[in-house]
Amino acid sequence: MSNSISRDQTKFDSEAQARIKILHLEDNANDRELVAAFLNESGIDLEVWHAQNEKEFRDALQNGPFDLVLADKSLPSFDGLSALTILKKSFPATPFIFVTGSMGEEAAIETIKTGATDYILKNGLVRLAPAIHRALNEARERVRVNHAEERVREQAMLLDEAHDAILVCNLDGVIRFWNKGAQKLYGWPTEEASGKNIIDLLSKGNFPGFETIRQKAVSTGKWMGELTHQTKEGKSVLTESRWTLIDKRGASPQSILIINTDITEKRQLETQFLRAQRMESIGILAGGIAHDLNNVLAPILMASQLIRTQSPSPKSLEWLDMLEKSAGHGAELIKQILTFARGVEGEHIEVQITHLIREMQKLLRETLPRSIRVEVNIPKNLWIIKAVPTHINQVLMNLSVNARDAMPNGGTLTISAANVVIDDTYLRLHPEGNRGVHVMINVTDTGTGIPLEILKKIYDPFFTTKEAGKGTGLGLSTVHGIVKNHGGFIHVYSEPGKGTSFKAYFPAASAGLIEDKNEHLEPPPRGHGEVILVVDDEPAILEMTTSILEAHGYCPLPAKNGAEGVALFAKERERISLVLTDIMMPVMDGVAMIHALRALDPTIKVVILSGLMENYQVAQLATSEYIETVDKPYTSRKLLISVDNVLKGTRSVT
């Protein structure tokens, strides 16, 4: 420090615990002494550093920091406002008080706006000590608040790492905090969610239980239950919601902490499990009823035959014909019930289903209306299964009849088969499946499709949407029973207005040999950092697919729908090597998205992931250059091989 800067040290009994360090900018010696005198009488334990010009002021700050700065407003070659600007650049939290000879009201207001803490006139220095006390207290409070805010930010960063949706709202439901977990679950970024009402944002203005839940949380301090919310894309998610009242140390509560856990997939799994239990119970009950009904119908049929031997009248013969026909229809119905209830009866033998499908193709072409085209697609090396041939025929027939009824105005019925290895990737989304090698039979139609609310009931026995007398409601439940009792499982995919695909999986007879063979297969191809845009509206599938790609050397960019995919592609098109996309999505479907992407880049490579490849638009796209299709559900190996082949410009072998 230069010699022109003096240091006055005065020790007093101070209310503060530490000595206060003050920098006083003043060129007039008499004014310095006058201020020092008032400071001496203030009772503050302090040390004062003096500066008379800009250089000394800057040099003094180098020896800082100071707890407080006092400054005259006008100096010969320097001024207090410039000093304030210099101070705020290096020490923005340090209080600054003007001590000046005169200052108009407008000038005083301007100094406060600029960042000064206060101003004192030299003829009113009695206000100096209280002003210093107030400035220091305010500074300490700001430091405390800043530290508290920093802790809050640190806690918020930790909360952002949580997978659960964590939000804070006031008692009226206005959102004050929104973590990344909430953004991931609901789709709204923090800047869009903050300040919105939880009722409007998550329930589209219809949250009838909000007031009851809020009152419960306020009165008891907490509430827990299940709530259904809407995402930004309009999708429903079921959450386990926990509300906790935030109590501010005895003050009136101001906010509620809400932690929401997505249990949509968990509840779906529970529903599948309960349905399996219900089907098993119904099967046992149906088997018992069918057995008793057989005992009832058998005497009726036998008695009718005996009556015929007694030369009944022509009218009686008509009644006997009607009786036998009705009893025969009842016997056939009971046979279906027994098949559903007991599953497979008869000897399981090794079956090559190629022959069964070819025979079914001939039968269907002869019996179905000409408006329905029957197509078959079977590979040459199809594996063998162990099954009862008549029951496989029944599966094919029931699914084909179901497809026929879904196409009253005609369409295409496609029966195909494939060798499939079920891996952990598939089981993560379809836990009803079994790991290992299977032969998959796929029966697809281009009909009306099945609405979601009906899709949940299609395997229930006696459930039918057909007119009275046109369906027993046992066709699909029988198929389900046969497949399950063969050790397999069935998966349905449907798009309303576009068709339905039933895929029945049967364990391959040579499972052990095939598994051994697959153990020695070359590992699936790996990427080299290629950026792949992945578009799917199902969070579980999106997460699983990106995880597979990431684990095998690719750099996935996830998007939740076609519109988001187009926006991301437009932004990152120079980096993106390939697009993986679902077809059925909200906002913008996959077909529309692909056309939009092709408008931006006609050579972009695409892998379509769909459960209904017979969709006409998908089939048209599949013939285009740089586009390949992969059936849902898919294994990680199939996905990686298709991605690698498309990137290299070759075609996968289905």
Which pLDDT score, from 0 to 100, does residue 88 have? 87
Edge-first strand order for the sheet with 436-445 is 372-377, 411-422, 436-445, 499-507, 489-495
Work out the pLDDT band at 298, boundaries 50, 70, 90.
Answer: low
pLDDT of 569 = 93
pLDDT at 502: 92
pLDDT at 532 over 90: yes
Whether the pLDDT of residue 338 is over 50: the answer is: yes
Give the mean pLDDT of the chain.
79
In angstroms, rounded to a whole number, what is the distance separating the alpha carbons of residues 600 and 530?
Answer: 19
Phi–psi pair at 535, nearest 5 degrees: -120, 115
State the pLDDT at residue 566.
93
- When mean pLDDT is compared across 88-97, 216-225, 321-330, 564-573, the lowest value belongs to 321-330
Percent of the chain with pLDDT over 70: 77
Pairing of strands 411-422, 175-178: unpaired
Q: Which of 533, 535, 522 is nearest to 569 (CA)?
A: 533
- Amino acid (1-letter code) at residue 64: G
Whether 523-648 and 7-142 are alike in CATH topology: the answer is: yes
Does 535 have pLDDT greater than 90? yes
What is the structure's pLDDT at 289?
67
The CATH number of 349-517, from 3.60.9.10, 3.30.565.10, 3.40.50.1220, 3.90.226.10, is 3.30.565.10
Q: Copy the structure tokens of residue 136.
A: 């220091």
H and E: helices and strands count for the chain? 22, 23
Cα 284 from chain centroid (whole Å): 39
* Residue 3: pLDDT over 80: no
Question: Using CA of residue 610, residue 614, residue 615, residue 620, what is the dihedral sign?
Answer: positive
pLDDT band at 159 (very low <50, low <70, confident <90, very high): low
User: How does DSSP assign 522-556, residue by residue?
Assistant: PPPP--SS-EEEEE-S-HHHHHHHHHHHHHTT-EE
d(CA 332, CA 353): 25
* Domain 7-142 listed as CATH 1.10.1040.10: no
Peptide bond into 558 cis (omega under 30): no
Pick from 146-155, 382-391, 462-471, 637-646: least confident: 462-471
What pLDDT sits at residue 278? Answer: 60
**pLDDT score of 417:** 92
The candidate with the shortest Cα–Cα distance to 476, out of 641, 339, 606, is 339
Which residues of 222-284 form beta strands (DSSP E)?
222-230, 236-246, 255-262
Cα R_g (the chain), whole angstroms: 40
Confidence of residue 554 (pLDDT cuts 50, 70, 90): very high
* DSSP classification of residue 561: S
Cross-strand pairs, 377: 416
Domain regions of the chain by residue span: 7-142, 162-262, 267-337, 349-517, 523-648
| Spatial distance between the Cα atoms of 41 and 35, rounded to a whole number of angstroms | 10
> Tens digits of per-residue pLDDT, 576-617?
999 999 887 888 888 889 889 988 998 889 998 876 655 545
**Residue 138 has which token pair?**
């305010």
Q: Half-sphere exposure of residue 446, counting CA atoms within 13 Å on the CB side?
A: 18
Residue 620 pLDDT level (bands cut at 50, 70, 90): low
Contacts 24+ apart (CB under 8 A), 119-122: 122/31, 122/34
- pLDDT tens-digit series, residues 460-519: 766 666 554 455 556 787 788 888 888 888 888 888 888 899 999 999 876 444 444 444
Is 41 or 385 the better-scoring residue by pLDDT? 385
Strand-strand pairing, 118-121 and 96-100: parallel
Q: What's the token pair of residue 12?
A: 């007093």
What pLDDT shows up at residue 462?
Answer: 61
- State mean pLDDT over 322-336: 69
| Res 557 pLDDT > 70 | yes
Mean pLDDT value across residues 265-294: 65
Stretch 446-460: mean pLDDT: 81
Q: Which CATH architecture has domain 523-648?
A: 3-Layer(aba) Sandwich (3.40)
Between 118 and 312, residue with greater pLDDT: 118
The two structure tokens encoding residue 214: 């809020």
Interatomic CA distance for residues 358 and 365, integer angstroms: 11
**Helices (DSSP H) in 309-407: which residue ranges?**
314-342, 353-367, 389-405
Using pLDDT thresholds of 50, 70 and 90, give the confidence band for residue 415.
very high
The pLDDT of residue 172 is above 90: no
Q: Which helix (H) or strand (E) holds 160?
A: helix 128-161
CATH 1.10.8.640 matches 162-262: no
36, 42, 141, 45: which is closest to 99 by C-alpha? Answer: 36
Which pLDDT value is given to residue 287?
60
pLDDT > 50? residue 315: yes
Most confident of 271-285, 340-354, 369-383, 607-621: 369-383
Q: What is the pLDDT of residue 413?
A: 93
Pair 396, 360: CB distance under 8 Å: yes
267-337: what CATH class? mainly alpha
270 pLDDT above the threshold of 80: no
Taking residues 36-65, report their average pLDDT. Answer: 85
Of residues 153 and 192, more confidently modeled: 192
C-beta of residue 379 within 8 angstroms of C-beta of residue 342: no
CA angle 131, 133, 135 (to 5 degrees): 65
What is the per-residue pLDDT for 65? 83
Is the model more confident about 64 or about 372?
372
Give the model's confidence band at 443: pLDDT under 50 very low, under 70 low, under 90 confident, else very high: very high
